[in-house]
Structure formats: C-alpha cells, structure tokens
Copies of this chain bind each other. A is one copy, B any other.
Amino acid sequence: MSETRTRGRRGHARTDRQAARRAPLPPELRPVRPGLEGGAYKPLTDPEMRRIHSAALEVLENIGIANAIPSCVRRIEALGGRLTEEGRLLFPRSLVEDTVASAARNFLLHARDPQHDLDLSGTRVHFSTAGAAVHMVDAQTRAYRDSTLADLYDISRLVDTLDNVHMFQRSVVARDLVDPREMDLNTCYAALAGTRKHVGTSWVEPDHVRESVAMLHMIAGGEKKWRERPFVSMSNCFVVPPLRFAEDACRCLEVAVEAGMPVLLLAAGQAGATSPASLAGALVQEVAEVLAGLVYVNAIVPGSPAIFGTWPFISDLRTGAMSGGSGEQAVLMAACAQMSGFYDLPGGVAAGMADSKLPDAQSGLEKAYTTVLAGQAGANIVYESAGMLASLLGCCLESFVIDNDMLGAVLRTIRGIEITEQSLSIDAMRDVCIGGPSHYLGHGQTMELMQKDYVYPEVADRLSPKEWVEKGSRDMIEKARERVQLILSSHYPEYIDPALNQKLRAAFPIRLPTEIMNPASKRW
C-alpha cells in the first residue's frame, strides 16, 4: 500500500514522509479489518424471514413486474415466466427458488490492488461509499454548490487513504459535464484515477457501458485480465418501484452482465410513496423486486456476480421527503441485510444517509445508529456509509474523514469480544489483586492488547476539557477540515501510469484535466 501511495512521487521528500505517516498499520497489527463477521443483530426471527420470502414469491407469481423490455420478456418466458394481459411479467415460484439456489454466492469483489479485494461470503461486513449527490457541502461556510468531476476525483483519492472505507462507489454527480456519455465515462475514469480499491459506478445508456468496458479492458491490460478480476461494478436501478422495470437501466444491465461486470441489483422504493408505508410491506416489495432482478441476471448469464441490493428508503410521511437518517430506516436496512443472509447471497444495503445538512451532531447520530445496525446485521457491503448528507443530496469532504473514525468504532463493535481461557483473565486478576499493585496499568496483558485490541480514532477528540480548551476548543468539523487538507494536498496517487493515460486520453473524451492530477496544481 505505501508503495503505491508514494509511487511517482520520488523527489517529493516531504510528501513522502506525510504519506508514510498516513500509511495504515500492517494488517496483522490492526484491531479491525475489512470483512469482520457480523450477524449478532437479528431484527427478524427465522419464521419472520420465511414469511417475508413467501410473501415476495407470492408477489412475483401473482402481481409480477411491469415494463419488462422485450429481451427480458423473451428470456424470462423461456424459463417459464408469463406476460399478463396488463403487461406484467409473472415469475413462477420454482423459477425464483431455482435461481436463488444456483446464483453466484461467496464471490470476491475484486480491486485493482488485490489487498483491497472484498470477500462477500457469509456475514462478512465491508463499508463503502455510494451516492449520486448533486451538491458539495462546505462544512465551514455551510454553502451548498454543484458537484463537479474534480470533486469526484478528490473524493476518490481521499477515500483511498481511509482504512475503514473498503470500497469506492461514486458519491457525486459531475454536474460540470453536460453530455451524458462524457459524464458516464469520466465518472468511471476519475474514480479509478483516485483509488485502487474496488470501484462502483452507474451508466445511463448501454452504449456508454460498452465504451467504458473498452476503457476498462485497456486499464486491466486486456479483456481476459478484466474478466479474471473485474474491478468495477455497476450500481443498477433496474426497477422503478413499485414493481416496474426501468427500461434503460435494464439495457445497461444486460451489457454489464455480458461483459462480466458484477452488478448491484438496486431496488430503492420509498416507504409510503413508491413502496408500502408498512415497514414489513416495504421489505416484501424490495425483496420481490431484487429477486426478479436476480432471475433476470441469471437468465442473461447464469452464475453472474450480483449483489442483492434491497434499499427500501423511508419517507417523512408529513412531507413525503426521504428520511435516510430515521430509526425506521436503520431497522429496515438491517432487516434487508438479514434477508440477503437468509438467501446466503452477497447483500448490499445503504446506511449512513444523514438527513442533516452539515456534519453536526444530527449527522453523527443518524450515521452511527444506521451504520452500526446494518453492519451488526451482517450486510456484506454497507453502501452510503461515508460522506453523505441531506438525505443523499449533499456530499462533504469533512464527513468522509469523520465517518472513517465512526466506521472504525463500528467495526470494533462488529469484531466483538473474544472469549478464551486467556482473555477471561483470571490469572491477571490474581496477579494484580493478591500481593500485586491493585491496578493493571503496567501488566503484560495491557501492553500486549494496547495495539491489537483497541482502535484509536484519527480525528475524534479524547482530550480532557482542560487540555481541549488549551488546544483551542476545536470541534469535529475544524479537526476534520485540517485532515482533509493534509491528505488532499499530498496524496496524488499515480494509479494510471502516464503511458496508459496518454492512450486513454487519445481514445476517450477524458475531461479531468491532467494538471489537477498533479501536486503542483496547488489546488489544496
């Protein structure tokens, strides 16, 4: 990791030292890691999960999904599905159950740097960004402004340095690119320029997917290498809830699946608006929709890697506005994580979607109870878990750094408490209490566990009030701001080598200025 971080920065001794200080602990010393096993929190009982499953099968068999594109109808009909007179595609129970049995599971989501591969098996938990925010939030001035491609690149290289954010799905829309083709291509490019963690993004037209796949082949070193380790996944909203296929998204889905790209099958209804107001009903509808997507994907290429993306959003029913930071949202997403576990399928949910417009106390609490419950419920990927504000409309650099600390603590809770003869510590108590010093401060066990068992936050403050006042009474925004500036002014990774970069720029309309990707740009 430290090698890639400093590669290309030779001759910048100060930058090198800063990079080294930011280098993560060696994996064996880290108290928390990607892929710790969750599952200790079970909001649903087993019989309840079976009832939800059974209701979803009933919905698919009797209500079905509207607006299937012809290629989808053809594929599903070939497998026993049926189009009703109202134009709804019905999925027989057995088809869904066979698909669940044979679908891809326990697969790796690859990263360009293999040490960032995500093992989506069992209840292993990873945290990822995501989103399509249209605003960047200045935490200090409280201003909202349009997000740009340069913001996306900055977020990518910022996330590259955050140990507890394990994957980068694009967080903001590059609103400075008005051409949809350029936006799709450049979003993919800018994300890959900033990090070698796994990248997720989305596309609006199948041609854009094809062109991006051509770019990905070049970056991978050929189609074969891409297909061996596809390091970009497609976030695909293949349904417009309630129970309608999204036609353009389905066309993009087909291209991705055929290109060997993993897909996040995303059903994002909003309870009380596009899905039932009853939390149980919202869950049933989303499960039904994602199961339909899973059948579809497996009808295109059997065994394709797909992530079970039940994302039922909550509305504030007084106004109809989304409330991603509500308690209802927290428990509903955790239940979704349990449902993908019920199917033993890789599951991705969303948490960390604060309603607050700023990284303030509201944002902190909304992010924490949603992410900790999603993680404890064993979601393989918790998307949206860093950086997002304003119910996904805003994205904030300081929030990423703050949320990284939060996710470290959340991961520590997921790791749990190891119970062994030694950890029970009866001998340590005897040493200390009987003829000992009556405290554990210098005890061998304390020294040994200090690094291995305890997570130390990077920006969160643990000073006494006196020291804190002496050091300027700073709040979390001020500390996070300083850290963002330190990282973004020094971390310019060269993850696309110059020769390749020239070729990419010759072949595709890359709009991220080369000078921005250079420490001499002095933007930070």
Binding site for B on A (CB under 8 A): 40-44, 48, 51-52, 55, 58-59, 62-63, 66, 86, 88, 135, 142, 144, 242-244, 271-285, 314, 316-321, 323, 325-328, 330-332, 334-335, 355-369, 371-373, 376, 390-391, 393-394, 399, 402, 405-406, 408-413, 415-420, 422-426, 428-430, 432-435, 438-441, 443, 445-446, 448-450, 453-456, 459-465, 468-469, 473, 475-477, 480
A424 contacts B274, C-beta separation under 8 Å: no
A280 contacts B144, C-beta separation under 8 Å: no
Contacts of A285 in B (CB 8 A): 425, 429
Contacts of A55 in B (CB 8 A): 424, 426
Among residues of B, the one whose C-beta sits closest to the C-beta of A334 is B413
Contacts of A142 in B (CB 8 A): 469, 473, 475
Among residues of B, the one whose C-beta sits closest to the C-beta of A446 is B277
Contacts of A440 in B (CB 8 A): 242, 271-277
- Known: A242-B438, A462-B391. Contact between A365 and B362, CB under 8 A? no
Known: A317-B449, A321-B462. 12 other contacts (CB 8 A): A41-B376, A144-B465, A277-B446, A278-B423, A278-B428, A281-B426, A317-B450, A319-B462, A361-B402, A365-B365, A365-B402, A365-B406
B278 contacts A355, C-beta separation under 8 Å: no
Among residues of B, the one whose C-beta sits closest to the C-beta of A141 is B473
A373's contact among B332, B413, B415, B425, by CB below 8 Å, is which? Answer: B413
Contacts of A360 in B (CB 8 A): 360-361, 364, 475-477
Q: How far is the CA of A335 from the CA of B415 in the complex (A)?
A: 13
A412 contacts B331, C-beta separation under 8 Å: yes
How many copies of this protein are present in the complex? 2
A393's contact among B48, B273, B422, B465, by CB below 8 Å, is which? Answer: B465
Contacts of A276 in B (CB 8 A): 425, 428-429, 440, 443, 445-446
CB of A125 to closest CB in B, whole Å: 13
CB of A6 to closest CB in B, whole Å: 27
CB of A258 to closest CB in B, whole Å: 30
B460 contacts A362, C-beta separation under 8 Å: yes
Q: How far is the CA of A379 from the CA of B473 in the complex (A)?
A: 34
CB of A408 to closest CB in B, whole Å: 7
Contacts of A88 in B (CB 8 A): 433-434
A277 contacts B357, C-beta separation under 8 Å: no
Contacts of A445 in B (CB 8 A): 276-278, 281
B475 contacts A358, C-beta separation under 8 Å: yes
Contacts of A413 in B (CB 8 A): 43, 327, 330-331, 334, 369, 373
Residue of A316, A326, A358, A365 with most chain B CB atoms under a 10 A cut-off: A365
